[in-house]
Amino acid sequence: MKIVAYHISQEDKELLALANHKKHKITIIICPLDETTVHFAETKDAVVTIDQKSQITTHILEKLISFGVKYFIYQSREQCILDLSISHNSRLKFIHIGNVESKAKITQIIELLDHLEKSDENHSQTEL
């Protein structure tokens, strides 16, 4: 899978590289997802945001959908960073990661990406 991960700390960046084992192609952006950074998601299968503090607007979500992003994986300490009203009318799937320590969080993200990739492969094979 091709992934872009936003707002990644140096510690999480290192853990992500180790846990990934070069399986997924991950682009790491240290800035949060916003109007100026959303273009990095173009051609990606999934977007990951960690501890996003600012609201993810409907406009940004619409851009992600137009780019063909399938999965939006997010971890946030804030209750509501997303306008989820758009989720009912799109193929973008929203997945929340709980607030756990860095190593467990990164492991959970990689396991989730592995599962989603396998699920996508199985789905593609059944369509043939």
| Segment 114-125, tens digit of pLDDT | 999 988 776 555
> Mean pLDDT across the stretch 19-25?
92
In whole angstroms, what is the distance from residue 60 CA to residue 123 CA? 27
Q: How many residues are there in the chain?
A: 128
Q: Give yes or no for residue 126 having a pLDDT over 50.
A: no
Of 86 and 117, which is predicted with more confidence? Answer: 117
Q: Give yes or no for residue 7 having a pLDDT over 80.
A: yes
Please, what are the domains in the chain? Answer: 2-127 (3.40.50.720)
Give the residue carrying structure tokens 């992500």: 16
Q: Give yes or no for residue 15 having a pLDDT over 50.
A: yes
| Segment 27-40, tens digit of pLDDT | 999 999 999 999 99
Q: What is the pLDDT of residue 79?
A: 56
